[in-house]
Structure formats: structure tokens, C-alpha cells
Amino acid sequence: MTIRHRSVLRIVAAAAAGLVALAACGGPAPGGGDGAVSGEISLLTPIFEEADGHAVLEQQLAVFKQQYPDVTVRPDYTSYSKLNEKLTTSIASGQPYDVMLMGAGWIPPFAEKGVLADLQKDPAQLASQYYEGALAPGMHEGKVYGLPIMMDTRIGIYRKDLFAQAGITEPPKDFGQLREYGKRLTQRNPDGTLAVAGLDVLGIDPRQEFLTLLWAAGGELFAPDGSPASTHPQGSRRCRR
């Protein structure tokens, strides 16, 4: 099987995505290769940035190379802030990347427009390998279009001294209190410039914190019919929280 110019082959896309997940979990490295697959794969990744990240990805690609020695992977490094632009530009030009690393919430819109290949994976079988909550963002209308490669968590930290100065004696119990505390803890200089932020999400992209808070409140990005949940009364109410 020869990989044609910019073609998206299900078997290769699945293998590459599965390899990354396998290596991240410390699984065994596949070996060998029957030479049946050859060619070049273009990979767009918003992670593995900087020199250290490049080295990590190169290690993972070396494992992939052991199984598919006649396949060359060409990574294109970007950031999450530029990821959508990269994806849409490549798709509009008719030359999409073969393998694309996306964040939560990205799969359904692209899958709906027919951009992504169905990996032909059984969700029930995958549930025995992955945390079920990590599989859902890679699915659309019951089909699997992406596999998880990493997960992280968000933590909340507060300073007792600043709480005491503001007369606050305990952490917030709900989003309403969180908003109130943020206002009370905010300090400004005489000229109006910010001196102390009452609430700092400590993130490179506010969308990530938004998703964490949305799911913590029981909300969803998409309704059961695949439409954006924010257009539904229930989704809108949860988003406003």
C-alpha cells in the first residue's frame, strides 16, 4: 500500500494516533514491519513545542518507524492559538494534513463537514483501553474519529492571606461565590491599573478553563443531535454560570 500525495489512509492515521497514545502510556514498542505500507505522512501538532518537545516526539516517531520502516512522518509544529488557522487553511487549499492533533471540542465540527476519516474503531473495545470520558471528545454520531493521547487536570489554588484581607473565611462553594470572591479580591492602583487579580485562570488559553468549568457544572459543548449546546436553553444557562 503506497501513501498517495496528502491522502488520508485510515490504517495509517489509526496507527499513528494509536502509537502516540501507546507511547504516552508507557506501553510496549511495536517492532518489525512487512513493508506493505510506504510513503509519507504529514502531521500537524499543537503540542511538543520547543526543542524539548521536539525531542519527545522524535522518540515516539522512532518507535513508529520500527513498525513501518518505509514510512516517513513530517511533523509541522504549531500552537493552539494558530491551530484552527492551520487546519482550515490546509483544508481550504485541498491539502489537509494526514494526521491532526486536536483538542476537546474540535472533532465533531470537522467530522460533520467530512474532513476527518472514520477510524473504524469499536467504542466498546476502546473503552477497555482508555478512560471512557477521554474517548467521547473523539467521537461524532457514534463513530470514532480521534483517539486520546494525553490528559491533564485543572487545580484551584487560593491565598489565605488575601482571603483574610478581604474578610473571606472559606473557599467558594459554587460559581456564584467564585464570581463574588473574584470581585472582592481584585485590587487596583489609584490610576485604575490592575494590582492584584481577584481570579487568575493561569492558562495559556481561556477556552481550556472554560471547558473545565462547563463540564464541572454538568454542561456539554454539543447537544445529542450534534448541534452546539450553547444554542439550547439548558446549554446556554450552564455556559452563563
For 164-223, write each residue's pLDDT tens digit. Answer: 999 999 999 888 999 999 999 999 999 999 998 898 876 656 777 777 777 777 787 777
pLDDT at 202: 64
Q: From its phi and psi, is residue 75 left (phi > 0), alpha (psi between -120 and 50) or beta?
A: beta
Which is more confident, 163 or 49? 163
Kindly indicate the confidence band of residue 162, based on its pLDDT and cuts at 50, 70 and 90. Answer: very high
* Pick from 75, 40, 79, 76: nearest CA to 60: 75
The string of DSSP letters for the chain reads -B--TT---HHHHHHHHHHHHHHHTT-PPP----S--BEEEEEEESSS-HHHHHHHHHHHHHHHHHH-TTEEEEEEE--HHHHHHHHHHHHHTT---SEE---TTSHHHHHHTT-SPP----HHHHTTTS-HHHHGGGEETTEE---------------HHHHHHTT--S--SSHHHHHHHHHHH-EE-TTS-EEE-S-----S-HHHHHHHHHHHTT--SB-TTSSBGGGSHHHHHHHH-
**Do 153 and 209 form a contact (C-beta atoms < 8 A)?**
no
Domains of the chain, by residue range, sit at: 10-144, 160-240
pLDDT tens track for 97-143: 888 888 777 888 888 888 888 888 898 898 888 887 788 888 888 89
pLDDT of residue 233: 54
> Between 239 and 134, where is the model more confident?
134
* Cα–Cα distance for residue pair 110/122, rounded to 1 Å: 20
pLDDT of residue 189: 95
* Lowest-confidence segment of 26-40, 43-57, 84-98, 186-200 by average pLDDT: 26-40
Please provide the CATH number assigned to the domain covering 10-144: 3.40.190.10
pLDDT one-digit tens code per residue, 57-93:
899 899 989 988 998 999 999 887 888 888 889 888 8
Residue 196: strand pairing partners: 187
Q: What pLDDT was estimated at residue 170? A: 92
Lowest mean pLDDT of 18-22, 74-78, 150-154, 180-184, name the range: 18-22
Q: Residue 10, Cβ neighbours under 10 Å: how many?
A: 12
Residues in the chain: 241
**Phi, psi for residue 38 in degrees, rounded to 5:** -150, 160
